[in-house]
């Protein structure tokens, strides 16, 4: 099948909107592959932090992104041989990811890697610019959002469940500044793609959001 005929569902939205969980479950239900594009920015951030790369050096950071030794396998994420699924969820890594994601060179370096996830029978792609930049021809585009308070609550629970310490006020401030950076950057800012279905999940369970996405997909004749 030509690559461009492989169906793609894009799920974009702000941090902690629940899009990771929803994308994962939609991919499972359809038997599709999953691209967690945020993980690629987080992996680049983690790798740069560990190498002591200058966070203002766009060229050096682009090289880190270009040479990422990343492997997704059985729900685990590896950087080289090390499992880093939890390490990349730390707030410091998320904040660094959000900063370096504003650099065009870093985004360009991760472009081809993201396209390579489009494999049969289909792909669910989760991120900020999946529907606007990476897969503009996607069959279904969803923009998942939730109030900043609902998202801070979710992030708090996620961190505590993973054994990290967390502070609600700090999380709210972090989310607000990350939202501002993600929506106001010049390159690939976080905005709903043209034709995207907007879903506010503030008062919705992840399962209800999954059903809504699947019903939009079915309505396209799938």
Residues in touch with ligand DC (CB under 6 A): 15, 37-38, 41-42, 94, 97-98, 101, 127-129, 178, 182
Nearer to ligand DC by Cβ, of 38 and 105: the residue is 38
| Nearest residue to ligand DC, by Cβ distance, number only | 38
Of 215, 200, 170, residue with least CA distance to 14: 200
Instruction: Report in angstroms the alpha-carbon separations of 205 from 56, 120, 143, 211.
Output: 39, 29, 16, 10
Nearer to ligand DC by Cβ, of 2 and 35: the residue is 35
Please spell the DSSP secondary structure of 72-115, one letter per residue: EETTEEEETTEE-TTGGGSHHHHHHHHHHTT-HHHHHHHHHHHH
CB of 189 to ligand DC, least distance (A): 9
CB of 142 to ligand DC, least distance (A): 14
Q: Are 141 and 23 in contact (CB under 8 A)?
A: no
Main-chain dihedrals φ then ψ at residue 88, nearest 5 degrees: -75, -10
CB of 97 to ligand DC, least distance (A): 4
Nearer to ligand DC by Cβ, of 86 and 218: the residue is 86
Dihedral, CA atoms, 210, 214, 216, 217, nearest 10 degrees? 140
Tokens coding 193: 């793609």
Tokens coding 180: 């501002």
Nearer to ligand DC by Cβ, of 114 and 212: the residue is 114
Nearer to ligand DC by Cβ, of 136 and 222: the residue is 136
CB of 27 to ligand DC, least distance (A): 15
């Amino acid at each position: 099948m030509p690559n461009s005929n492989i169906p793609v569902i894009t799920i974009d939205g702000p941090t902690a909107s629940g899009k990771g969980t929803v994308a994962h479950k939609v991919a499972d239900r359809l038997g599709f592959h999953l691209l967690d594009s945020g993980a690629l920015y987080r992996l680049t951030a983690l790798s740069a932090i560990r190498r002591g790369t200058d966070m203002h050096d766009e060229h050096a950071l682009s090289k880190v992104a270009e040479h990422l030794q990343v492997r997704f396998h059985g729900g685990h994420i590896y950087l080289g041989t090390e499992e880093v699924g939890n390490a990349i969820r730390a707030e410091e890594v998320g904040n660094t990811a959000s900063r370096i994601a504003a650099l065009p060179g870093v985004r360009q370096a991760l472009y081809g890697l993201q396209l390579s996830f489009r494999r049969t029978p289909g792909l669910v792609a989760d991120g900020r610019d999946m529907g606007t930049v990476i897969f503009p021809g996607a069959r279904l585009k969803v923009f998942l959002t939730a109030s900043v308070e609902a998202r801070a609550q979710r992030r708090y629970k996620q961190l505590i469940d993973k054994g990290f310490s967390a502070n609600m006020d700090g999380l709210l401030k972090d989310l607000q500044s990350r939202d501002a950076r993600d929506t106001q950057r010049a390159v690939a800012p976080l905005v709903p793609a043209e034709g995207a279905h907007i879903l506010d999940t503030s008062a919705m369970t992840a399962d209800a959001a999954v059903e809504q996405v699947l019903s939009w997909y079915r309505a396209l004749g799938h």
